């Protein structure tokens, strides 16, 4: 869904901008007001909605368009932006500091993982299409020289290391045949290069599969600290009620 991806991209910019703005121009009293707490509550609820994606993926087995990851990103970014504004750039306790740092880690790991993984997956798909096209072209060229034993191409290839086309012609090897064999050789090399690239990018995909575990573990700590922070605030009382 291109529209959702564009929204997620813009929200990523807004998140970084709001983070820098709150750190450079803090609003110390905002988090203690009704509006500040409202932003924190709404932001937390939006971040909790990100759990719908892994639930649908892991439990219900819904993937791809049935469970778009961009929705997961939008909820996470919107919630994080509101939480950043709720904090007002004031980090006045150990829990708040840890919560803030882990939230940034979750967002950055999610953004980088998503966009890089998408690009790698798209590149692999392009290489696979190119490999399929080259293989079809190779089969077509093989048919065009079906009267010639393909093994003779290996003999010609060995001779080309020592003789030019004119010398080969003197030995009874026709120039068109030489060029056909050279064309086949180039196709084989091209297929090999593309297949190697696919292997490299496949390995990168597996690495990002492990990178997602980092994102998941950070998210687990984030929600744990968020629960602790909310419980602490509720226990000591909401400042705007007094």
Q: Are residues 171 and 223 in the same domain?
A: no
H-helix or E-strand containing 216?
A: helix 175-236
CB 134 within 8 A of CB 194: yes
Length of the chain: 242
Residue 225's contacts (CB-CB under 8 Å, 6 or more residues apart) are 95, 98, 99, 102
> Residue 242's pLDDT band (boundaries 50, 70, 90)?
low
205 part of a folded domain: no
Closest among 65, 93, 52 to 236, alpha carbons compared: 93
Q: Three-state SS for 205?
A: helix
For the segment 169-183, what is each residue's pLDDT rounded down to a tens digit? 444 444 455 666 667
pTM of the full structure: 0.69
Pair (130, 167) in one structural domain:
yes
Domains contained in the chain, number: 2
Residue 32 lies in a domain: yes
Q: Which two tokens stand for residue 78?
A: 């919107």
Q: Are both 20 and 70 inside the same structural domain? A: yes
76 and 103: one domain? yes
* pLDDT tens column, 104-160: 889 988 888 777 777 887 888 888 888 888 888 877 776 766 444 455 554 444 434
Sole residue written with tokens 């968020």: 226
Q: Which residues of 123-132 are buried (b: 16+ CB within 10 A; e: fewer)?
A: bbeebeebbe
Question: What is d(CA 47, CA 50) in angstroms, rounded to the nearest whole number?
Answer: 5
Say what the pLDDT of residue 43 is. Answer: 93
């Amino acid at each position: 869904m291109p529209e959702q991806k564009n929204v997620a991209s813009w929200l990523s910019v807004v998140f970084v901008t709001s983070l820098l703005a709150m750190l450079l121009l803090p609003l110390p009293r905002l988090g203690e007001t009704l509006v500040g707490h409202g932003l924190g509550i709404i932001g937390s609820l939006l971040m909790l909605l990100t759990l719908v994606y892994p639930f649908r993926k892991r439990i219900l087995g819904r993937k791809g368009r049935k469970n778009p990851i961009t929705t997961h990103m939008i909820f996470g970014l919107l919630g994080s932006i509101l939480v950043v504004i709720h904090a007002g750039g004031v980090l006045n306790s150990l829990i708040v500091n840890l919560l803030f740092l882990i939230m940034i880690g979750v967002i950055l790991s999610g953004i980088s993982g998503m966009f890089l993984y998408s690009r790698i997956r798209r590149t692999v798909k392009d290489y696979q299409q190119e490999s399929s096209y080259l293989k079809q072209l190779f089969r077509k060229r093989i048919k065009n020289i079906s009267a010639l034993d393909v093994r003779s191409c290996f003999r010609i290839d060995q001779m080309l290391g020592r003789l030019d086309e004119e010398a080969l012609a003197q030995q009874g090897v026709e120039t068109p045949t030489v060029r056909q064999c050279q064309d086949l050789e180039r196709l084989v090399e091209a297929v090999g290069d593309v297949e190697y690239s696919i292997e490299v990018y496949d390995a990168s995909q597996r690495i990002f599969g492990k990178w997602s575990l980092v994102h998941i573990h950070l998210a687990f700590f984030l929600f744990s600290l968020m629960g602790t922070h909310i419980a602490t605030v509720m226990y000591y009382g909401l400042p705007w009620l007094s």
